[in-house]
Structure 1
Amino acid sequence: MAVLKKAAKSKMEKKERYSDKLKKLIDEYSKILVVLADNVGSNQLQQIRQGLRGDSVILMGKNTLMKRALKSYVQETGNETIRPLMDLLAGNVGLIFTKGDLKEVREELSKYRVGAPARVGLIAPVDVVIPPGNTGLDPSQTSFFQILNIPTKINKGTVEIITPVEIIKKGDKVGSSEAMLLAKLAVKPFSYGLVVEKVFEDGSVYDPQVLDLTEDDLAEKFASGLANVTALALSISFPTLAAAPHMFINGYKNVLAVAVATDYTFPQAEEVKEFLKDPSKFIAAVVPVASATGGDASGGAFKEEEKKEEDSESDEDNMLSLFDD
């Protein structure tokens, strides 16, 4: 009985130490990566810890224990911003507390992915395709290829795959035949490591794909959002900073149209009315002044072209006159 009480007390103390450690990390770090740890061994996890040592700390544990510690932290501190983190603790996940660049931490995690064979009953995380080529297997092994409908031929006493064949699709369970064939070919089609599922930063939760966005991507998305806000504001005639310039321009166009159609006028409309009365003024304002050797801006080039045509016709007349009687 005493032994059981001692064991229970020791277990409770471990939970309290774990809870205190989690609370301390929350106070110290504002950026947390929620990572999936399926098929990650203890040796591999130790290597990852060493690789991230410095700016990052990995904390693994049971989801119920982590949720209890987080709930206690919220009650003690009143910090509600940490509450969304509780909803992310589902499945075989862990937490990486970091002060470094989130994208660099994720890239560091990818360095420690290790190859793994296709075990029977495992859900394939990726498509598995066997490329064409010599397998090095003797002809007695063709039965495996026939079961999987893989076209083969015998070449120099070994089995050769003729065309690439997809034998496992992403999301399917690995069968015994597929697992045995891949083992015979010494192919490890899968790789495992800590995979970033969600990012928690200063109370906000977002997908890790956000880390791949560049400044150009952000500028493009901002411009697209600004265009949508402007279009909405214009359609409902609601003034905003984005729509105001367009509203002023559209209003000016309407007033100008009224001035042109009526006797009402204002200084900016006078010039437009003058152009409408005498279009040649508009041409003179737009067409650049001709060079000194050319004619006037409106007709100098045309007159010069006419002169060239007249000279050409004159030369032709002189040539014809040589053959007249």
Structure 2
Amino acid sequence: MAPKQTKAEKKIAYDEKLCKLLDEYTQILVAAADNVGSKQLQGIRKGLRGDSVVLMGKNTMMKRTVRVHSQNTGNNTILNLIPLLQGNVGLIFTKGDLKEVSEEVAKYKVGAPARVGLVAPIDVVVEPGNTGLDPSQTSFFQVLNIPTKINKGTVEIITPVELIKKGDKVGSSEAALLAKLAIRPFSYGLVIESVYDNGSVFSPEVLDLTEEDLIEKFAVGVSMVMSLSLAISYPTLAAAPHMLINGYKNLLAVAVETEFSFPLADKVKEYLKDPSKFAVAAAPVEAAGAGGSAPAAEKVEEKKEEPAEESDDDLGFGLFD
């Protein structure tokens, strides 16, 4: 039988294990472990076996090891872990997909009774129905102002009752009643609080983002950059095409009103001098939409009203097609 390790030896072994994990893994999930028992942790470790390692320990020991290891290796990014080591937390080192590992951890939750003095993580509502308790137990319900009636020799709750609100401490009467009703209202497990990935720290909600969400957020960001760039006349990749189009439109407007010209403006001026060309250009559209029955003269008159604006849009975007 191997001799029992001393307290100092245990600290050294823990320090070596944590340093080895910090060198081997670049992805770490920081999980709150409140009300999680050793048997439950064994189940979680077994479920994650293969590409993940769960390590628990005192925050002071973990912080000290991270600091010393950072100094010894020159890896300053792991110092971002220190602010996350608050409260009763554990570290899940993994080489797998962060989202999949997070979902696997969430599966290992066990029901727990409402113990006296415990802060309720959720609202506890007692549903109406027969409790199976004999009439001598009505005092519990009366103390908690729960409306009941006697039905076939047993106590029956008449209406739903919000017994405990989230964030409130469980009282002795509430705990006794829930125990009598065999209700285990709470469930506990490791709860992912933060994600560490190659030095970056972010909220676990980020893991739920889909590719469509990222594309949408990126498009919104590009749109904001483009709007700002146009407003302050500062060229960026997002705004450059619009700046070129706007500049082209301004040049075209000047060319139409003056004798100044350039090749693309010459084409617009030809349309303005000979409006019948508008009818020729519009003929395929008329044939497809109305069977070619509308008179060409009417189309000519419509084009003559605002020729410059129509030409600007068509030729402006055609320049970059």
TM-score (norm 2): 0.83
Q: Distance in 2 between matches of 1:142 and 1:273?
A: 96
SS at match of 2:218: helix
1:159 matched to 2:155: yes
Query: Which residue of the partner structure matches residue 179 of structure 2?
Result: 183
How far apart are 1:103 and its partner, in Å? Answer: 1.3
Report the Cα offset of residue 172 of structure 1. Answer: 1.3
Indicate if the aligned counterparts of 1:114 and 1:193 stay in contact, CA closer than 8 A.
Answer: yes
C-alpha distance after superposition, 1:70-100 (max 9, x if no partner): 1110111111010010111111111111111
Contact 1:284-1:297 at 8 Å conserved across structures:
no
Shift of 1:121: 0.9
Identify if the C-alpha distance between structure 1 residues 92 and 264 changes in structure 2 by more than 3 Å, giving closer, same or farther. same
* CA distance in 2: counterparts of 1:132 and 1:278, whole angstroms: 85
Q: Which amino acid aligns with 2:111?
A: G
For residues 34 and 141 of structure 1, the distance between their equivalents in structure 2, rounded to whole angstroms, comes to 45
Q: How many Å separate the matches in 2 of 1:196 and 1:295?
A: 67
| Structure 2 residue identity aligned to 1:222 | F
Q: Structure 1 residues 141 and 283, CA, compared in 2 at 3 Å: closer, same or farther?
A: farther
Alignment of 1:126-137 (within 5 A): 126-137=122-133
**Pair 1:86 & 2:54 matched:** no
* Equivalence for 2:170: 174
SS in 2 for 1:115: strand
Counterparts in 2 of 1:26-45, with a 5 A limit? 26-45=22-41
Question: 1:287 touches 1:297 (CA, 8 Å); kept in 2?
Answer: no
- Equivalents in 1 of 2:277, 2:117: separation in Å? 85
Decide which structure has the larger Cα Rg and report it.
1
Gaps of 5+ in 1: 1-6, 301-325
Q: Equivalent pairs: percent with the same residue? A: 71
**Residue type of the alignment partner of 1:232:** L
Following superposition, the deviation at residue 290 of structure 1 comes to: 4.6
Q: Residue in 1 aligned with 2:215?
A: 219
Residue 18 of structure 1 pairs with residue 14 of structure 2? yes
1:247-286 equivalent positions in 2, closer than 5 A: 247-276=243-272, 281-286=277-282
CA separation of 1:132 and 1:261: change in aligned 2, threshold 3 A: farther
Contact residue 30 and residue 92 of structure 2 kept, 8 A: yes
Aligned residue for 1:124?
120
Question: Which position in structure 2 is the counterpart of 1:142?
Answer: 138
Q: Is the 8 A contact 1:61 1:94 kept in 2?
A: yes
The yes-or-no answer on 1:71 pairing with 2:67 is yes
Larger displacement relative to structure 2 (165-174 or 195-204)? 165-174
Cα distance change, pair 164–259 in 1 and its aligned pair in 2 (3 A): farther
Between the aligned partners of 2:163 and 2:279, the Cα distance in structure 1 is 73
Return the offset for 1:49.
1.3
Q: Specify whether residues 274 and 17 from structure 1 end up closer, same or farther in structure 2 by C-alpha distance, changes over 3 A only.
A: same
The correspondence for 1:298, drawn from 292, 295, 299, is 295
Number of corresponding residues: 292
State the shift of 1:297 in Å.
5.0
AA matched with 1:228: M
Tell me whether 1:193 sits opposite 2:205 in the alignment. Answer: no
Amino acid at match of 2:252: L
CA contact (8 A) 1:33 1:95 kept: yes
SS at match of 1:211: helix
2:301 corresponding residue in structure 1: none
Q: Quote the Cα distance in structure 1 between the aligned partners of 2:100 and 2:170.
A: 33
Give yes or no for the alignment of 1:234 onto 2:230.
yes
CA–CA distance in 2 between the matches of 1:296 and 1:44?
80
Shift of 1:299: 6.2
Partner deviation per Cα, 1:24-51 (whole Å, 9 max, x = no partner): 1111111111111111111111111111
Aligned to 1:83, the other structure's residue is in SS state: helix
Give the secondary structure class of the aligned counterpart of 1:140: helix
SS at match of 1:82: helix
Q: State how far apart, in whole Å, the 1-side matches of 2:240 and 2:40 are.
A: 58
Q: How far 1:115 moved relative to its partner?
A: 0.2
Structure 1: how far apart are the matches of 2:70 and 2:268? 69
1:277–1:117 Cα change, 3 Å: farther
Once the two structures are superposed, what CA deviation does each residue of 1:169-201 show, in whole Å capped at 9, x if it has no partner? 211111222212211221111101111111111
Unaligned runs of 5+ in 2: 298-321
**Matching residue of 2:305:** none
